[in-house]
Structure 1
Amino acid sequence: MATSIVSSLLFWHFFLFVGVGFEGINGQVNGWLDSHATFYGGNQNPTTLGGACGYDNTFHAGFGVNTAAVSDALFRGGEACGACYQVMCNYMLDPKWCLRRALVTVTATNFCPANNNGGWCDPPRQHFDMSMPAFLHIARQGDEGIVPVLYRRVSCKRRGGVRFTLKGQSNFNMVMISNVGGSGDVKLAWIRGSKTRTWVPMHRNWGANWQSNMDLRSQTLSFQNHFG
């Protein structure tokens, strides 16, 4: 588990609590939705595939190269970070560039800003700007580099358990939560020190990074998470 922390904490203990099960986007567990996809990044170097969620290396975070930047309609201020989507190129609409019956599961690790890719990421469009390895699972690399796709929210399959990357100082604790199975995304988080009687809510700082403003040095810490 990769950890990084400035404050002199003696020991960290992680307690994981799964609050609810995965229900799917908009309640459509098996439903496919229309969208479009583009690609970014010309190689598989994991340091190029992170972004607005704060995953500096998608391999260390447990996601590999099958990742995507998603438009604002999906990103929702970072709530989608770590969520998994199954994407299929719509062969019926674009048989020239789509691969027939090809599927890929991608993890949302980045944000595709408005006015990017010719406006495909503008609200209210639901768009996937995929890593090139993921894109080539479902489509050929065409001249325009954009294809119609069908997508659905799916459960994430992870190995090795939840990963925590820790940063901070005496009164500021930053925790990046990654490699989350099931729903993949974290909705709520709490922290409690060995000298603290109650669970204290954390709030999302940005992307997959959660923070608390407490001095918890020299304490055993527990984390409780509520997944979407």
Structure 2
Amino acid sequence: MNYYYLVVFLCITVPLPALSYSGEYYASRATYYGSPDCLGTPTGACGFGEYGKTVNDGQVSGVSKLYRGGSGCGACYQVRCKIPEHCTEEGTKVVVTDYGEGDRTDFVLSTAAYGKLARPYMAEKLFAYGVVDVEFKRIACQYNYNLVFKVLPHSKYPSYLALVPLYQSGTYDIAAMEIWQDDRKEWRPMRRAYGTVFDITDAPLGAITLRYQAVYGYGDYKYWVMLNNVLPSDWQVGYTYDTGISA
């Protein structure tokens, strides 16, 4: 992922509504990477594709330590910078869609997200810093959509299946995914291919039943969520399938 400290992208910013904060904030630093439309990138390390560019109105971020081998993909964070004369108290909410490293930063924000940190008419001055001190906390992702699984284009029906979850609400990470093999009467682990993309060779025939492991916090609380027949027997490459789960 390419990002630039010295190029200023001026995006129209709208102040965020006041939010009620809970939980602990952590100190860090943030920078930004550029794109002509001020949005994110569709080629991020999480495997989200175009969704990674447009989700949350382009308020997205690459992360370093928070990436956690890909399990941190899709997480939401409240980020606010610590320059009172230039920054709002609310900051911005971002969705993790990529891996990115800067100068001792946890966040490499899209220019749209970075601009949201600024007070009205202060965006240009904030971009000139290149890197700013911030504080952040994990927050629940909220969408007007259910969790869906997209069958990625390089899948090959019926033998090879690669899936990526989209619109993952709440504050959990998807740590693992398994597929039910009915003829063996056992759960087979899917491989985390990269980011939050899970795949399997020799996928079972018929409708696909999956389960994923939801993990909260530092792994103190985890459980499995089963999705019975979430993909039909004639699943198609490039299609998305609704899980019916909204949180």
Counterpart code for 1:82: G
CA contact (8 A) 1:47 1:57 kept: no
Structure 2: unaligned runs, 5 residues or longer: 1-21, 216-247
Partner residue of 1:95?
84
Query: 1:85 matched to which residue of 2?
Result: 77
Partner of 2:195: 207
| Superposed CA RMSD | 2.4
Note the C-alpha offset of 1:210.
0.4
> Once the 2 structures are TM-superposed, how far is the Cα of residue 103 of structure 1 from its aligned partner?
2.3
Query: How far, CA to CA, are the matches of 2:116 and 2:92 in structure 1?
Result: 6
Distance in 1, matches of 2:188 and 2:46, equals 23
Residue aligned with 1:143, SS: helix
- The structure showing larger relative contact order (alpha-carbon pairs under 8 Å, at least 6 residues apart) is 1
* Corresponding residue number in structure 2 for 1:53: 46
1:146 Cα shift? Answer: 1.5
What amino acid sits opposite 2:116 in the alignment? H
Match of 1:17 in 2: none
1:157-216 deviation per Cα after TM superposition (whole angstroms, max 9, x unaligned): 122111211132243321111211112531121112555522222121100100122232
Q: How many residues align?
A: 185
TM-score calculated relative to the size of structure 2: 0.67
Moved more, 137-146 or 103-112: 137-146
Instruction: Structure 1 unaligned segments of length 5 or more: list them.
Output: 1-28, 122-126
Contact map agreement 2:23 2:137 (CA 8 A) in 1: yes
- Per-residue displacement from partner, 1:122-142 (whole Å, max 9, x unpaired)? xxxxx1110111111112233
Q: 1:156 aligns with which of 141, 144, 160?
A: 141
2:112 to 129, 133, 150: 133
**Percent of aligned positions with the same letter in both sequences?**
24
Partner-residue secondary structure (3-state), 1:99: coil
Rounded to whole Å, the distance in 1 between the matches of 2:97 and 2:41 is 11
**In 2 relative to 1, CA 47–61 (structure 1 residues): closer, same or farther, beyond 3 Å?**
closer
Q: What is the SS of the residue equivalent to 2:128? A: coil
Q: What is the CA–CA distance in structure 1 between the aligned matches of 2:146 and 2:54, rounded to whole Å?
A: 11
